[in-house]
Structure 1
Amino acid sequence: MLLDAQWTHRLLNEGVDPVIWRVHLMLIFMMFATRYLPKKYMIIVSLCLGIVFDLYYLGLIGIYAVILPLIIWMMYLVHKFLFENIFNLFFGLIIFITSFEILNVGLQLMFNLITVNPLYFVTKVLGPTLLLNMVLFCVSFFPAKKLFWN
């Protein structure tokens, strides 16, 4: 979680154009962890991490405390198909990160925490975030496979 925030902050400061690159390493490794760790444990851990993330970054409990367990639950729903091959994992990651970002923006819009143009969100937030996390998935797949597979 700390690496996610540090890399995201670093990438925000590097660019001239206001493109938001959001790193989701925690989500990538949680997806790998769902292969062996029990559902109840992962949902409780994601709830606790969501609360910590909410308190530290947003100052209120609710946004990430809802989104993270929901995404983990979605991972367990497609668990049987997710780990058949690397392509299913890759496209599953795209679906989970897209869901995470849309739920994040949707909840923040619902509580009037942000105002965002949908075109700006897709082109300056979602697109770069997906691209960056696809590259991170490709880089982290083999170390994570060694860690979470037999």
Structure 2
Amino acid sequence: MRIPKMRYIFPLGLILAIFLDGTLTHVWSGWMITPTTFVECRMVFLWIFMAVCFGEVDHIIPWAIFAGLMYDMFYTGIIGVFLVLFPLMIYITRWIMQYFEPSFIVLLLIYLIDITVLTALSYGMNLIVGQTSVSIVDFIGRTLGPTLAFNLALYVVLYYPLKKLFLKYS
């Protein structure tokens, strides 16, 4: 019986993505976090998104719950925000993808929708629990816009390497 290599590659990549989120934010904090902008790196979600699109990953929902728990513990301090949002985003992505044939542009647009929903729901949850007091206008201009630009650029740079990796080892 042959064990698929993705069984080992996906968890390692997920853990690496969790640490890269914080590392990239720290290294580039000079321009990612300023008085006028706050860019949120979503490397973990990109890894999960590409796994949903191209990988044959067993038990991706439990992995998304694990990633959300780790993300919440390391970066937000509130257990539950990304613990709920990552599996929800997998569900939304799968629902949207059933109507489209995957291609670079189609997946870019789906990723744009996903990052928008993920960031907006994260803002909403943080607003409800009192972790933020930023107005919706400031959120859209200072966080959502720059976050979308950064994460779409990240998608463009990493699309082909991640696609190749998931297709090769799935």
Q: TM-score, normalised by structure 2?
A: 0.79
The question of 1:95 aligning with 2:113 is answered: yes
**Taking every aligned residue pair, what percent have the same amino acid on both sides?**
26
**Structure 1 residues 39-54: aligned runs within 5 Å:** 41-54=59-72
C-alpha RMSD of matched pairs (Å): 1.8
Task: Tell me, yes or no, if the aligned pair for 1:50 and 1:65 is still in contact at 8 Å.
Answer: yes
Query: Partners in 2 of 1:83 and 1:6 — Cα distance?
Result: 34
Letter in 2 for 1:13: G
Which residue number in structure 1 is paired with residue 3 of structure 2?
none
Which residue number in structure 1 is paired with residue 29 of structure 2?
12
Which residue, out of 127, 141, 144, partners 1:109?
A: 127
The unaligned stretches of length 5 or more in structure 2 are 1-17
What is the CA deviation profile of residues 93-116 of structure 1, one whole-angstrom value per residue up to 9, with x for unaligned ones?
A: 100000000110111111122111
The question of 1:36 aligning with 2:19 is answered: no
Query: Partners in 1 of 2:100 and 2:166 — Cα distance?
Result: 14
Letter in 1 for 2:68: G
Q: C-alpha displacement at 1:42, in angstroms?
A: 1.1
Query: Partners in 2 of 1:72 and 1:132 — Cα distance?
Result: 21
Query: Partners in 1 of 2:65 and 2:76 — Cα distance?
Result: 15
List 4+ stretches of structure 1 deviating above 4 A: none
Task: Tell me, yes or no, if the aligned pair for 1:11 and 1:21 is still in contact at 8 Å.
Answer: no
Q: Give the match's secondary structure for 2:56.
A: coil
Query: Partners in 2 of 1:53 and 1:147 — Cα distance?
Result: 23
Q: Give the match's secondary structure for 2:28.
A: helix
Q: Give the match's secondary structure for 1:116.
A: coil
Which residue, out of 84, 103, 107, partners 1:66?
A: 84
Task: Tell me, yes or no, if the aligned pair for 1:82 and 1:89 is still in contact at 8 Å.
Answer: no
What is the CA deviation profile of residues 10-60 of structure 1, one whole-angstrom value per residue up to 9, with x for unaligned ones?
A: 33333654311111122112111113335x711110101111111222333
